[in-house]
Structure 1
Amino acid sequence: MDNIQANKMIAEVFNEIADGIKSGSFGKKVKIGLTILGSEHGIEEMVKAAEMAQKKFNDFDIVLIGPKNSSSINTVEANTPEEGHQIMVKLLESGEIQGCVTQHFDFPIGVSTVGKVVTPGRGKEMFIATTTGTSSTNRVAGMVINAISGIATAKANGIENPKVGILNLDGARKVERILNELKDNGYEFDYADSLRADGGAVMRGNDLLAGTPDVMVCDSLTGNLLIKIFSSFTTGGDYETAGAGYGPGIGENYNKLINIVSRASGAPLISEALRYCAVSAKNNVLKTAKIEFEKANKAGLKDIIAKNTIDKAPEQAEEVKIPPKKVVTADITGIDILELENACKTLWKSEIYSESGMGCTGPIVLVNTDDLNSARTILKNSGFLS
């Protein structure tokens, strides 16, 4: 090692010490709780997970919450899952622990969990936003909020500029339009590009397996299904081993770091979930989330969501005359499946013949090649395309 490298290493060490003294965290380890009641695999499996994490990682401490056991790890006694949750909340609120891993928790509306998996295609870590809880009772609004929660969680876990992908679900294109408007208004983030030849921010199943984005945006029910499949695809489903679980509950102003695992989660996964919680606590994921939501709100998040998800009063079905049929060989992508019929009717009103269809990337509107540019302009001006 030459003098330049040595001096650089010394400078980095002193910088870390200075940062630790400034933040008040120098020499301190975060403490992460683990409730050990409620697992389908028994208390022994939960204790085993804690002991695995203690041996594998040495940068955080663990506190068990549950019945007395044979482990040397500090245990706060609780004899029912309900009592365990009460103690967990008290320990979090008092600052005795900085985060906790548990099997179930009733998060309020507006809070949902960001899971972390290891994708089977490339062995890449990917955050799934989100996997439990409800960010919003509106699907599209919820997915937009999930994107911000996912970005915040990825940043707090060491990804400085996480790439975002939107899973190809009902509402995905509307989510993309809202996120594009946020970007235009100054909320900074980057999209991932699908590994498929036609690319784009809307991700296919191939991208799930490969882990194309750092953050995969979806609704919580879909995310819950995905996390179960990713975590137990090699074990038959009754014992989850891979990844780091369902993750921390993230919300705009939520102030408790609670990471969720399943009752079917096994010791290898729970060990990683403890580490995930510890890193999130050390890097203050809840503060990071607050900052991200402040940035998004400054860019008009709530107003943009409101105008794009407002429930319209029922209208009488309008009779629209279909123009004379033409050969349709040009396709227009990027329209949400829930808006496909209305998009076609909008073109018919402008005397452009169109048909709906389903391409390999999702819903499409088919028009004659000569009408393509006009059709795109009409659909964009009518709000069907971004």
Structure 2
Amino acid sequence: MSQEKTKAMIAEVFSDIAEGVKSGSFGKKVKIGLTILGSEHGIEEMVNAAELAASKYKDFNIVLIGSKVETDLELIEVENAEEGHKLMTSMLEKGEIQGCVTQHFDFPIGVSTVGKVVTPARGKEMILATTTGTASLNRVEGMVMNAISGLAVAKSNGIKNPKIGILNIEGARQVERILKDLKDGGYEIDFAESLRADGGCVLRGNDLLFGTPDVMVCDSLTGNIMVKMLSSFSTGGSYETVGAGYGPGVGKDYDKLINIVSRASGAPLIAEAIKYCADCAKGNVLDVARDEFKKAKKSGLDGLIQKLLDKQKPAAAEEEVKMPPKKVVTFSIAGVDILDLEDACKALWKKDIYSESGMGCTGPVILVNEADGEKAIEALKEAEFIQG
């Protein structure tokens, strides 16, 4: 063996020791559970996934929870999937396992799962926040919470300064405003920049395929569709092969590391989901999430959410606003959320600026006369419909 290779091996050993001391896990491996009942592809597929993960990765142990099968892996027998979930929960609470991968688990409101996909344009891993569960019954609040959860997962998985992007869906502009106000309040957050010419952190479908951000924020229903599409596009949808599944359930006070896969997930994806769960366990993702939510609260999160909710409350008697005389509208103003279009137009009418709502190729727009363009922009900034 050459002197260079020997030095490299010694350096790697010392690096592993240092990392173990830092994380407090030196000398022991995390143990990750896998419930094997309930897959549309059968128990053998689940066992194959665990054995594949065990052969590829040596830095964690796996225990199977399910009916009796032939395997060299540790197995705890249960009668059915419901019993498996009960045992999984008990083992997590007792610390017998540090995380578990399972299917179709009901999280409480306030908890949603942070998935990990492989984007097709560059084969880049990207965190998708979120994919199942519900962080809040309010769409915009939920997406803001998803952003914080996504950052926590990214950091626990070794991304020191994750860049965040917001998928261009309903509510995206409101989420952008709140996150930027949160940053102004002291919360550390870096925004990705779209690869498209118009830039910005509200990202298009192209950015989703390319993997522009480290963390892509969306609502969980959209995220669920995206993770299914990206994981099973090449198989026609019946067998998910690519990525690491729907990820860990994260909330500001949630205390169990449970990663989700679909009943349509195949062995290659489930093996990566087990690895993803182990990485989250070693990175203390639930502690990181708790810390991130505390930092966000200190930076004004509660006040920003309350301001959002107050704004969305229906008025006791809606003020009638008279529309100014019509003008030719050729000046477009982007950046207003689709949920705010009607109110934004009325805000301009109050200023005696004629406006109409429209939809451009990049999203919703407000249309005004060229002569009123700058005045309209200032009015919308003042009313907080667009960024100042």
**TM-score when scaled to structure 2?**
0.95
**3-state SS in 1 of match to 2:289:** helix
Question: 1:34, CA displacement in angstroms?
Answer: 0.2
- Equivalent positions of 1:133-172 (< 5 A) are 133-172=133-172
**3-state SS in 1 of match to 2:147:** helix
- Equivalent positions of 1:324-339 (< 5 A) are 324-339=325-340
Retained in 1: the 8 A contact 2:131–2:224?
A: yes
Amino acid at match of 2:341: L
Partner of 1:110: 110
Question: 1:88, CA displacement in angstroms?
Answer: 0.6
**3-state SS in 1 of match to 2:38:** coil
C-alpha distance after superposition, 1:325-347 (max 9, x if no partner):
33322211110111111211211
- Equivalent positions of 1:178-327 (< 5 A) are 178-310=178-310, 311-327=312-328
C-alpha distance after superposition, 1:106-148 (max 9, x if no partner):
1111110000000111211111100111100100000000000
Partner of 1:341: 342
Retained in 1: the 8 A contact 2:41–2:264?
A: yes
**3-state SS in 2 of match to 1:234:** helix
**3-state SS in 1 of match to 2:277:** helix
Retained in 1: the 8 A contact 2:143–2:175?
A: yes
Question: 1:361, CA displacement in angstroms?
Answer: 1.2
Amino acid at match of 1:115: G
Retained in 2: the 8 A contact 1:140–1:309?
A: no
Cα pair distance change 1:8/1:146, threshold 3 Å: same
Cα pair distance change 1:207/1:43, threshold 3 Å: same
Retained in 2: the 8 A contact 1:244–1:272?
A: yes
Amino acid at match of 1:204: R
Partner of 1:379: 380
Q: Residues of 2 paired with 1:28 and 1:379: CA distance? A: 57
Q: Residues of 2 paired with 1:55 and 1:4: CA distance? A: 28
Partner of 1:129: 129
Retained in 2: the 8 A contact 1:247–1:276?
A: yes
Cα pair distance change 1:173/1:23, threshold 3 Å: closer
Q: Residues of 1 paired with 2:314 and 2:297: CA distance? A: 27
C-alpha distance after superposition, 1:308-331 (max 9, x if no partner):
123423444544333233332221
Cα pair distance change 1:118/1:324, threshold 3 Å: same
**3-state SS in 1 of match to 2:198:** coil
Structure 1 residue runs of 5 or longer lacking an equivalent are: none
**3-state SS in 1 of match to 2:335:** coil
Aligned-pair RMSD on alpha carbons? 2.0
Partner of 1:370: 371
Q: Residues of 1 paired with 2:37 and 2:329: CA distance? A: 61
Q: Residues of 2 paired with 1:291 and 1:159: CA distance? A: 16
Retained in 1: the 8 A contact 2:23–2:282?
A: no
Cα pair distance change 1:351/1:286, threshold 3 Å: same
Cα pair distance change 1:4/1:241, threshold 3 Å: closer
Partner of 2:100: 100
Retained in 1: the 8 A contact 2:64–2:76?
A: yes
Structure 2 residue runs of 5 or longer lacking an equivalent are: none
Q: Residues of 2 paired with 1:24 and 1:226: CA distance? A: 36
Retained in 1: the 8 A contact 2:152–2:285?
A: yes
C-alpha distance after superposition, 1:163-213 (max 9, x if no partner):
111111111111111111101100011111111110111111111111111
Q: Identity over aligned residues, as a percent?
A: 68
Cα pair distance change 1:286/1:322, threshold 3 Å: same
Retained in 2: the 8 A contact 1:182–1:296?
A: yes
Q: Residues of 2 paired with 1:23 and 1:248: CA distance? A: 20
For these two proteins, the number of residue pairs brought into alignment is: 386
Amino acid at match of 2:325: P
C-alpha distance after superposition, 1:21-50 (max 9, x if no partner):
465411211110000000011100000000
Question: 1:91, CA displacement in angstroms?
Answer: 1.1
Choose 96-105 or 19-28, whichever is displaced more. 19-28
C-alpha distance after superposition, 1:220-251 (max 9, x if no partner):
11111111111110001111111000000001
